[in-house]
Amino acid sequence: MSDIIAEINRAVSEAEGRAAAAAAAAEIEAVRIDYLGRNGLFPALSRRMGEIPPELRRAAGGAFNAGRTRIQAAIEAAQQRLASGGEEKDAIDLTLPGRRGAAGRIHPISRTAEECAEIFRRMGFIAVDGPEIEDIYHNFDALNTPMDHPSRDPQDTFYFPDGRILRSQTSPVQIRVMETHTPPVRIVAPGRVFRRDTPDATHGMNFHQIEGLYVDKNVSMADLKSVLQRFAHEMFGPDVRIRLRPHFFPFTEPSVEYDFSCVVCGGKGCNVCKNSGWIEIAGAGMVDPAVFKAVGYDPAVWSGFAFGLGIERLAMLRHRIPDLRLLYENDVRFLRQF
């Protein structure tokens, strides 16, 4: 009587093979009809069960049920396979290049300036603008620059025949804002500034700065520290350490320079930080009383801080650009990297 079991097993493997090979829904349906359909093999086998001696009927019944379940499963698997669209004969070449939309880029200088402005914007600093052709008063006099200060020299600053200059710093924007607004004032001024330097790896005839100014009651160096600290962390990540060093600028007192731990080596010392572990980032300080006097603010009531950052320097550090001139060459192979 084992031939009925053998017959069942043979039919199951045959049905499974046909279901696996089926390439269309009709072929799968044919498998179902041939084996499980009303006139198919399994109903026929079922009818023959009565002929089997009772002692063998249990084993044959088990094989019958298992076989029917397997065929059912094979049919379902085949249907799923077809529904998910597998192995279609007309599959496309997936490796052909994609059709790209045009992808432009923002220059690393603009990008860095915007990131700075955005960080300060979140701290309540609004970005303002000022002229690049500036007068001596706003660029030097009102900023407490001594009359014989070297930066006034035509050796260092570009002059026009009418005595005006190309601004050598973004600081005159401070003056223009304070002249026209009463405190509190909290601004940044990103923009281009000019120095009479022959272009080399770290100098250019012009570069970009972002100036910051915050004047209110009781503004202190502690506020300055926290603003620059937060800037450092947002710009270069939470691992960056910072330090203030006393310095000198005519328009701030006290004056400081602001260093970040080297973003390249993490402070261990490398050629970028000249093995000091620190990178000079900003000049800053408390607005000098002489500057307040020039704009008519009372230093007994108001206090404030100002800072200036070099955009190119930040961009070069962020993107590890070794030479300032690359920023002004505008080679698309460079521009497309950012």
Partner 1 sequence: MNISRKWLSDYVALTCDDAALCHKLTMAGIEVEKVETVSVVPAGVIAAKILSREAHPNSDHLSVCQVFDGRENLQIVCGAPNCDAGQIVPLAPVGTVFSTPEGEFKIKKSKLRGVESCGMMCSAEELGISDDNSGLMILDPSVAPGTPLETLFPGDTRMELEVTPNRPDWLSVWGIARDVSCLLGTEAKLPEISVKESSEEPRPDLVTVEAPDLCHRYIGRVIRGVKVGPSPAWMVERLESVGLRSINNIVDVTNFVLMELGQPLHAFDLEKLEGQRVVARRAAAGEKITTLDGKTLDLCEDNLVIADARKPVALAGVMGGEYSGVGENTTSILLESAVFQPSNIRSTSRRLGISSDSSYRFERGVDYDMAETASIRAAQLILAVAGGRLEGKALDVTSGRPEEAVIPCRFDNIRRLIGSRVSDERIVEIFRTLHLKVDDVTPSGCTVTAPLFRRDLSREADLVEEVARIDGLDNIPEIPVCGKCCHPESEDAWMPLQKLRAAVAGLGFCECVHYSIGSAANFLTDTRFSESDLVKLDNPLSPEMAVMRPSLLGGLLGAVERNIARGSKTLALFELDRVFCADRSKFPEERNELALILTGLRHPERYSAELKESFDFYDLKGTLESLFELLNISNYRFAALEGDGRFRPGHACSIVIEGKTAGAFGELKKELTSSWRTVYPVFASQIEAGALLQAARRAAAKYKPAAQYPATARDIAFVASSGLTCGEIIEFVRRKKLPDLESVRLFDIFEDDALREKHQKSLAFTLTFRNAARTLKDDEVNASVERLRGALAAELKVELR
Supply the minimum distance, in Å, between the C-beta of residue 300 and partner 1: 8
Q: Shortest CA distance to 35 belongs to which of 81, 67, 82, 78?
A: 67
Supply the minimum distance, in Å, between the C-beta of residue 294 and partner 1: 14
Check if the beta carbon of residue 169 is closer than 8 Å to that of residue 308.
Answer: yes
Q: Residue 13 interacts with partner 1 (CB under 8 A)?
A: no
Q: Which C-beta is closer to partner 1: that of 6 or that of 106? A: 106
Q: How, if at all, do strands 303-310 and 206-216 pair? A: antiparallel
Supply the minimum distance, in Å, between the C-beta of residue 140 and partner 1: 15
Supply the minimum distance, in Å, between the C-beta of residue 261 and partner 1: 14
3-state secondary structure of 189: strand
* Segment 81 to 120, residues that bind partner 1, using CB under 8 A: 96-97, 99-107, 109-110, 113-114, 117
Beta bridge partners of 209: 191, 310
Q: Which C-beta is closer to partner 1: that of 39 or that of 218? A: 218
Q: Which two tokens stand for residue 225?
A: 């520290």
Q: Which C-beta is closer to partner 1: that of 18 or that of 167? A: 167
Q: Which C-beta is closer to partner 1: that of 67 or that of 310? A: 310
Q: Which C-beta is closer to partner 1: that of 10 or that of 268? A: 268
Q: Residue 129 interacts with partner 1 (CB under 8 A)?
A: yes
* Segment 286 to 325, residues that bind partner 1, using CB under 8 A: 286, 288-289, 299, 303
Check if the beta carbon of residue 270 is closer than 8 Å to that of residue 150.
Answer: no
Over the Cα atoms of the chain, what is R_g? 39
Supply the minimum distance, in Å, between the C-beta of residue 33 and partner 1: 46
Q: Residue 279 interacts with partner 1 (CB under 8 A)?
A: no
- Residue among 1, 126, 264, 301 that touches partner 1 (CB under 8 A): 126
Q: How far is CA 24 from CA 16, 83, 88, 115, 181, in A?
A: 15, 10, 10, 57, 79
Burial 275-304 (b: 16+ CB within 10 A, else e): eebbbebbbbbbbbeebbebbebeeeebbb
Could you report how far apart the first and last alpha carbons of the chain are, in Å? 79
* Segment 217 to 246, residues that bind partner 1, using CB under 8 A: 218, 220-223, 225-227, 229-230, 243-246
* Segment 181 to 220, residues that bind partner 1, using CB under 8 A: 181, 183-187, 190, 192, 194, 196, 198-199, 204-206, 214, 216, 218, 220
